Amino acid sequence: MPAPESNRATNVLAAIANGPRDPFEIATCQIAPPQAGEVLVRVHACGICHTDLAVKLQHIPIPMPKVLGHEGAGVVEEVGPGVTQVRPGDHVLMSFGSCGECPNCRDGALGYCDHFRAVNLFGTRTGGSVLMRNGSELGGHFFAQSAFATHAIATTRNVIKIGDDLPLELVAPLGCGVQTGMGTVINVLRPRPGTSIAVFGVGAVGLSAIIAAGIVGCSTIIAVDVVPERLRVAQELGATHAVSGRADDPAAEIVEVTQGGANFSLDTTGVPAAATNSINCLRARGICAQVAAPPRGTLYAAEASVLVGRGLTVRGVVEGDANPKLFIPRMIGLFRDGRLPLDKFVKTYPLEKINEAVDDLEHGRVVKPVLTMREIGSVV
Ligand SMILES: [Zn+2]
Ligand SMILES: [Zn+2]
C-alpha cells in the first residue's frame, strides 16, 4: 500500500554540517512534503554566506547536525495546500523568513521579526522536522530553507518569484549577502549624491555596498580590506580609493582622503578594530552602519568624545532593512541593466565540492562561492 500522503518523503542529497571541525558531509536524506503555506523547491544554486560558517563554527550556537544554506535559488516543484502565490515551474529565490504576525513584521521591518532567531537560525517549523536521516531528525529549515541541498522546503513568506530567464547561480546571493550590502546603503544610509562612504571589508556584502554607493551617486567610495585582490575588485566595481586594513591607522587615511572624514561608513567584518575605525573615520554628523554577526559577547569600542562630539549615529542593520519581496525585484532590475555585475564576484562550485568552496572563502580566494546542484541526480 502506498504511504499516506502526510508521511510521504522524498530522498534528496544534502551537505550536512556535523560539527565545527568536521567537513560538510554529502549524504542522502529525506525531505517532508510541503504543508500549508509551504513550497518545495528544487534547488539549482545556493550562495555560501558567512552566517553559514558562523553557525557551523558554533559562533552562533545552534544544535547540530544541520543542513545550512540560506541563499537558495531554484524552481518550484510542489506547493502545499492553499498556496496560490507560486506554482510548480516558477523560478524563485529564497530569502530570510519572518513570522508575519509580530509588531515589527506588521510594520514591514521583517529583519527585526520578534521570532527572527527561531524562524531563521533554529529553523523552527510547525509540523515537525523538514529533513530526516536514517529515521532521526536532521536540523532543517535554516532561514526557512536549508538550501545546501537538492531540495528545500520554503514558505510563501520567503520565496520571491523571478523571471525564468535569469541565471540562478548568479542571482542566488541576492537573497542575503547582496541584499544586506545594497539594502544598507539604499534603505538605511541613503547617501545623497556627491557624499563620501567608507566600506570596511569588501567581501560580497561590502562589494554590494560599493556598487550601491556608486548607483546612488557617492563621489568618494573608499574600500578597506586586508586582502589586496579584494581591493582590486572593489576598485573595478566602483571604489574610488583603496585603504589597506593593515595600515597603521586606516581611519586617519580615510579622514585624509575625504578631507575631514567620511559622511557614511559601513562595517561588514565584525572585527572590533575595524568596527571602531568605521566610527572614527566619520566627519561630524556622520552615520555608521554595523551589519556583521560576530561571535556572541563581541564588543565594539567607541570613544565618547568622538561619538558625542561629532554627533555621530551608529546603527545596527539586519538584511539591509529590506523587505525581500520588494527589494529583490529592484536588485534584479539593476542586474538586468548591467549595473549589478554579479559575475564579477560569483564563482560556482558543484554541491559536492562544498568543502573546497568554504576553504577558498575562508582564505580569501573567492568573494562569493555559489554551490550548484544541477548535475546531481536528485530523487534517488
Ligand atoms: Zn515577526
Ligand atoms: Zn547571509
Claim to verify: residue 67 and residue 165 sit in the same structural domain: yes
pLDDT at 61: 86
> Is pLDDT of 350 > 90?
yes
Instruction: Report the distance separating Cα 143 and Cα 183, nearest Å.
Output: 18
Helix (H, G, I), strand (E, B) or coil at 329: helix
Residue 183: other Cβ atoms inside 10 A: 28
Residue 90's closest CA among 109, 74, 101? Answer: 74
Instruction: Report the distance separating Cα 333 and Cα 360, nearest Å.
Output: 30
Claim to verify: residue 279 and residue 297 sit in the same structural domain: yes
In a domain, 380, yes or no: no
Instruction: Give the Å distance between the CA of 179 and the centre of ligand 2.
Output: 9
pLDDT at 1: 43
Burial readout 283-306 (b: 16 or more C-beta within 10 A, e: otherwise): beebbbbbbbbbeeeeebebeeee
Claim to verify: residue 81 and residue 185 sit in the same structural domain: no
Residues less than 5 Å from ion ligand 1, measured at CB:
98-99, 102, 105, 113
> Is pLDDT of 380 > 80?
no
Q: Which range marks the domain in which residue 40 is found?
A: 5-175+345-372
8 Å CB contact between 284 and 262: no
Reported as a single tens digit per residue, the pLDDT across 49-77 is 999 999 999 988 899 999 999 999 999 99
The position carrying cell 537560525 is: 121
The residue ranking higher by pLDDT, 342 or 4, is 342
Claim to verify: residue 313 and residue 350 sit in the same structural domain: no
Claim to verify: residue 83 and residue 111 sit in the same structural domain: yes
**CA gyration radius, the chain:** 21
Terminal CA-CA length for the chain:
20
Instruction: Report the distance separating Cα 267 and Cα 202, nearest Å.
Output: 9
- What total number of domains does the chain contain? 2
C-alpha cell at 102: 509580530
DSSP assignment of 136-174 equals EEEB--GGGT--SBSEEEEETTTEEEE-TTS-HHHHGGG
- The arithmetic mean of pLDDT across residues 148-175, rounded, is 98
How many residues in total does the chain contain?
380
In a domain, 45, yes or no: yes
Instruction: Give the Å distance between the CA of 186 and the centre of ligand 2.
Output: 18
> Is pLDDT of 378 > 50?
no
- The arithmetic mean of pLDDT across residues 185-203, rounded, is 98
Instruction: Give the Å distance between the CA of 176 and the centre of ligand 2.
Output: 5
Residue 220: other Cβ atoms inside 10 A: 19
8 Å CB contact between 96 and 172: no
Instruction: Give the Å distance between the CA of 328 and the centre of ligand 2.
Output: 14
8 Å CB contact between 351 and 371: yes
Claim to verify: residue 209 and residue 84 sit in the same structural domain: no
Residue 140's closest CA among 374, 114, 26, 149? Answer: 149
In a domain, 311, yes or no: yes
Claim to verify: residue 139 and residue 272 sit in the same structural domain: no
Report percent pLDDT > 70 for the chain: 96
Side-chain half-sphere CA neighbours of 251 within 13 A? 18
Residue 177's closest CA among 289, 318, 278, 61? Answer: 318
In a domain, 379, yes or no: no
CA angle (201, 111, 231) in 5-degree steps: 10
DSSP assignment of 52-107 equals HHHHHTTSS---SSEE----EEEEEEEE-TT--S--TT-EEEE-----S-SHHHHT
Claim to verify: residue 242 and residue 293 sit in the same structural domain: yes
Instruction: Give the Å distance between the CA of 330 and the centre of ligand 2.
Output: 19
> Is pLDDT of 181 > 80?
yes
Instruction: Give the Å distance between the CA of 106 and the centre of ligand 1.
Output: 7
Claim to verify: residue 103 and residue 195 sit in the same structural domain: no
- The arithmetic mean of pLDDT across residues 97-113, rounded, is 97
Ligand nearest to the CA of 172: 2
In a domain, 185, yes or no: yes
Instruction: Give the Å distance between the CA of 142 and the centre of ligand 1.
Output: 16
Instruction: Give the Å distance between the CA of 308 and the centre of ligand 2.
Output: 32
In a domain, 324, yes or no: no
Using pLDDT thresholds of 50, 70 and 90, give the confidence band for residue 6.
low
Kindly report the average pLDDT of the chain as a whole number: 95
Here the contacts of 58-61 (C-beta below 8 Å, separation 24 or greater) are 58/20, 59/293, 59/294, 59/295, 59/296, 60/121, 60/293, 60/295, 60/296, 61/296
The CATH number linked to 244 is: 3.40.50.720
Listed residues 300, 318, 336: the one ending a domain: 318
Range with the poorest average pLDDT among 7-16, 198-207, 315-324: 7-16
Using pLDDT thresholds of 50, 70 and 90, give the confidence band for residue 8.
confident
Residues less than 5 Å from ion ligand 2, measured at CB:
49, 51, 176
Claim to verify: residue 237 and residue 153 sit in the same structural domain: no
